[in-house]
Amino acid sequence: PEAPKPAPVNKVSQYACQRRTTTENNNRIFTDAFEVLAEHYEFNDLQGRCLAFRRAASVLKSLPWAVRCVEATQDLPCLGEHTTAIMKEILQHGRSFEVEKILSDERCRTLKLFTSVFGVGPKTAEKWHRRGLRSFSDVLAEPGIQLNRMQQSGFLHYGDISRAVSRAEARAVGNIIDEAVHVITPNAILALTGGFRRGKEFGHDVDFIVTTAELGKEKSLLINIIDILKKQGLLLFSDYQASTFDISKLPSHRFEAMDHFAKCFLILRLEASLVEGGLQRAEGDSRDWRAVRVDLVSPPVDRYAYTLLGWTGSRMFERDLRRFARMERQMLLDNHALYDKTKKEFLTATTEKDIFDHLGLEYIEPWQRNA
Ligand code: ATP
Ligand code: MN
Ligand code: MN
């Protein structure tokens, strides 16, 4: 006789924005392996395969249980032959030989090393590799290589900014920014976004939205903040990008396009005395400060909800929110607005919840967006 069917369980959605994914990952052995493969395909310009492995990793991250046999995954979306084969390898041997081969691949290692420098993307890394460069000292000694300002700071502060930022350090940075904005205006609005808003314990940077309740006043805000930080001697690097936001150009149809709001990418000097429990430091490092990467974005206040949703991430969560809007709702979502193609109108939102409602999605809390 046939075995009794297990009780039906809710099907896992193919869209990350319909899954709840906390920072607790029960399938790290698989998702770490998938991330290595995804990066490998990214370096080799195979975007489709890269995305397939990122999607598979994202599905496994959302599971409240650990995968113990591949049969248990047969009803899950986004898992294909290749991902399943890797899982099988890991379940049988405790590791994947395919992944180990990539990890020992000279080109992949070098590209990973180079892209770990602030300001160095895959293209530059590739260029350096093709010139035969294999280490930082190779790059720095190579005649004819012109590092831009960002890359120079990247090398200068490499040790500090490649070290994770703790929650306590993020809080201390928040206090510094908060003080600066309130010198400028009493109507300032400051919100932590990015990984720390999603409840992560560590991040590669600290992300904030800063704006003011008076529409239009946000235009000079970042410039003024940068000025104050500079006068306080806290600014180690700043790349300011003025707003190119034009309401008449909405909606932007480009998938995964960066937004057009004013933003800046900073490196700040953080004093140990401001951090509860002290700094994250390398062993033997006795300095009383460290460098921290900080991102600020400054949208007009009527765009606040879209910006908050867009900058909270994760990247996979954002990607699938947009894909869901497009594929399932005939709507266009980006960091500026939500456009209903059927009704030919923009939908207004003052909170993230409004946007989920417009999309007919259950609200997902920030700490459940670690897709
Ligand atoms: P980590 O802890 O590693 O910093 P994170 O999720 O905070 O993880 P970030 O790279 O800081 O990663 O990005 C945070 C969010 O901001 C992401 O959702 C990303 O889509 C968004 N973002 C980052 N840079 C830009 C940009 N230039 N324009 C628009 N959105 C951006
Ligand atoms: Mn971040
Ligand atoms: Mn960031």
The domain that holds 263 is classified in CATH as 3.30.460.10
**Residue-wise pLDDT tens digits, 3-23:** 766 666 679 999 999 999 999
178 in Cβ contact with 3 (< 8 Å):
no
Pairing of strands 206-212, 289-298: parallel
Pocket test for ligand 1, best of 35, 222, 315 (most atoms within 8 A of CB): 315
Question: 113: domain CATH number?
Answer: 1.10.150.20
Dig out the tokens for 168 from the structure.
């306590």
Whether residue 5 lies inside any domain: the answer is no
Question: 326: domain CATH number?
Answer: 3.30.210.10
Whether residue 27 lies inside any domain: the answer is yes
Q: How confident is the model at residue 255 (pLDDT cuts 50, 70, 90)?
A: very low
**CA 328 – CA 186 distance, rounded (Å):** 42
Question: Mean pLDDT, the chain, as a whole number?
Answer: 95
**CA 232 – CA 226 distance, rounded (Å):** 10
Whether residue 9 lies inside any domain: the answer is no
Whether residue 221 lies inside any domain: the answer is yes
* pTM, rounded to two decimals: 0.95
Whether residue 11 lies inside any domain: the answer is no
Question: 66: domain CATH number?
Answer: 1.10.150.110
Residue positions annotated with a catalytic role: 205, 207, 295
112 in Cβ contact with 39 (< 8 Å):
yes
Q: Note the pLDDT of residue 176.
A: 98
Residue nearest to atom 22 of ligand 1 (CA): 311
Q: How far is the CA of 91 from the centre of ligand 1 (A)?
A: 33
Q: Does the ipTM surpass 0.85?
A: yes
**CA 312 – CA 316 distance, rounded (Å):** 11
State whether 63 and 75 are in the same domain: yes
**CA 25 – CA 106 distance, rounded (Å):** 29
Q: How confident is the model at residue 40 (pLDDT cuts 50, 70, 90)?
A: very high
Whether residue 6 lies inside any domain: the answer is no
**263 CA: nearest ligand 1 atom:** 27
Element (H, E) at 323: helix 315-329
Q: Which domain holds residue 338?
A: 309-368
313 close to ligand 1 (CB < 6 Angstrom): yes
Q: 3-state class of 179 per DSSP?
A: helix
Dig out the tokens for 239 from the structure.
């790349």
Number of domains the chain is built from? 4
